[in-house]
Structure 1
């Protein structure tokens, strides 16, 4: 945009403020008086760390549903709701009597099949030498062999039923598959549970937690373009991850990225990502909404300006730079010149947090940071000693 057109637009937004300051004390400093004193910062290109923040929600590193494997009546809950449990600990006891009865019946059937097998073997042993000498028919011998084979099969089947009955009896103790924090019991004593269909409780492991968040598709595409254009450098060992509360309090750090989904979620327009963080002190609770901060990336050779230097005009963001006047009647004077800029994300620079300027400024220019309410486009200014941004370290 032509600087004159931009200046007219900016002046329109500042005219009320300018009128209020036009008769300020000290000899008419203001938009229509003599030069206004301003503070500036001389911007320089430098390598700056950059962070990315997204809204996320925490999950336990493992969230396991506990279900009974058999149908039965709950006799007892064996854990404290909301308390820690160990892997293999009994959480619920189901009524074992029906399963004890089934086991006794299976063992009796197995004993009967074993007796039949022993009898079939004795018969086969008696007939074998007689068949070899021709004293019994081959048909009688074949029947004895078949009877022995059937008895073996029945013995194996009955043994399997005994094993099954023992397993079902063992399943009347509902054990914790993993260690962690057990939730509330979904069923109380005396309730009938129909096997795996009924959820009894949930165990959550919280020594480490997962933070699930979404990266907007448009932002992801812009980051990919910056990477290809070498405008962004990722950390060699992957992003560091911090989790913050809504008020900015750090809840956990030292995390790392686990993965990002390869597809965009059509419902939210985001790419689902997941990070893992240590949580030994238990400050993070599963289901908690947090701000997920990714750290370690850098923007090479970029310009940063303080937040207060960036203003919003009708055509977008702009800053004032100090430049020599191009008017003959103001030859040698310095004036405030509006400069449209394209601002990126917030970054931490040598002077603290500020805007990363993607386009609109060059190294060595003086940007006005204080005294902005006393000036307008083309207003003469006098500058104090300019603060300089740190240059790029070679």
Structure 2
């Protein structure tokens, strides 16, 4: 009879198998998504607004001839500074010298007539008192003297006019500034009624920066006007950023704000004034005008990357005290660099997710990798 060894070993094998199963490790829970959180802390911020602007001279004056004639000479260097009163052009003076000589000759003739009329009047007056001459003779003498006086005054005015016209043959700079190129070359016939100026002079210091503010941005640009529309933005500090990104070193101030909004563009025109002693800025230069709107106290700002766009709403992902994600709608205001002001929806001490948003879902618990 064969021994029954396998049957006797079966309970031992089953016990060994059960022991092996009981020693297997239990499955671990999935790790929580890691996010970076930001603690909301209100703080004071400097409010600044940027606008595209264009520079212009405080005064751009067209230089025109006040008399006509042949342009003999240009006496300035185009594009260079000129001083007020400096001679810029010379016209042919000879015709005006002749007119002055003619006027002076006529004045001398009228002066001689006046002298004779005075002598006649002085001689007849005592004779009339003695009834030696008629009243008509006396009246004629007085009338001739008065007419001679008027003729002398007319001749004197003609001399003055001729003198002025002669002086106008030297065209001078009405202001100090930078000249443009000449519009008429030497030898040209110049007319005093020509619509084209001989040149233009721009006063370079101070210099204006003209810019426009959109109607919807106007109150944000100058918040004080929200409660008092009569208040002006004049006096606000400004800076200029050049095309290469550099900041012009001298600060300016808003010195003009229009009294109405342009209905064609929906903007209000403004102007800032800057000193430009070295002529670094030129008229017609496109710049960015940075306006200092003052300090906004206890403002809440968040990074732009923390904002979630959900259809037409702007939302952020909050974390409660158990690090569970909540979605909340926020009202956003002006952008400050890479951050944006939160007008409503957040308060001090709350936490929002700024990095790891793609891993976070409302109602889900997360792990905070870093909190700022």
TM-score of the pair, normalised by structure 1: 0.81
Q: Tell me if 1:211 matches 2:196.
A: no
Asked if structure 1 preserves the Cα contact closer than 8 Å seen for 2:232 and 2:257, the reply is no
In structure 2, relative to structure 1, the CA distance for the partners of 1:234 and 1:121 (3 Å cut) is closer
User: Could you say what the CA RMSD is over the residues aligned between the two structures, in angstroms?
Assistant: 2.5
**Greater gyration radius:** 2
Q: 1-side partners of 2:301 and 2:227: how far apart?
A: 19
TM-aligned CA deviation for residue 222 of structure 1: 5.2
Could you say which residue in structure 1 is the equivalent of 2:170? 173
In structure 2, relative to structure 1, the CA distance for the partners of 1:296 and 1:184 (3 Å cut) is same
2:218 equivalent among 217, 220, 236: 220
Superposed, which structure 2 residues align to 1:207-356 within 5 Å?
207-221=205-219, 227-228=225-226, 238-324=235-321, 333-347=322-336, 353-356=338-341
Q: 2-side partners of 1:246 and 1:340: how far apart?
A: 38
Asked if structure 2 preserves the Cα contact closer than 8 Å seen for 1:252 and 1:279, the reply is no
1:73 partner SS: strand
1:51 equivalent among 48, 53, 60: 48
2:156 equivalent among 156, 159, 162: 159
Q: 2-side partners of 1:201 and 1:156: how far apart?
A: 37
1:259 partner SS: strand
TM-aligned CA deviation for residue 246 of structure 1: 4.1
In structure 2, relative to structure 1, the CA distance for the partners of 1:111 and 1:243 (3 Å cut) is same
Q: 2-side partners of 1:104 and 1:278: how far apart?
A: 49
Unaligned residue ranges in structure 2 (runs of 5+): 1-26
Asked if structure 2 preserves the Cα contact closer than 8 Å seen for 1:252 and 1:284, the reply is no
TM-aligned CA deviation for residue 334 of structure 1: 1.8
Q: 2-side partners of 1:367 and 1:347: how far apart?
A: 19
TM-score of the pair, normalised by structure 2: 0.86
Q: Tell me if 1:373 matches 2:358.
A: yes
TM-aligned CA deviation for residue 365 of structure 1: 0.7
Superposed, which structure 2 residues align to 1:110-125 within 5 Å?
110-125=107-122
1:363 equivalent among 345, 348, 354: 348
What number of residue pairs does the alignment pair up? Answer: 343
Q: 2-side partners of 1:375 and 1:161: how far apart?
A: 94
Specify which structure has the higher proportion of strand: 1
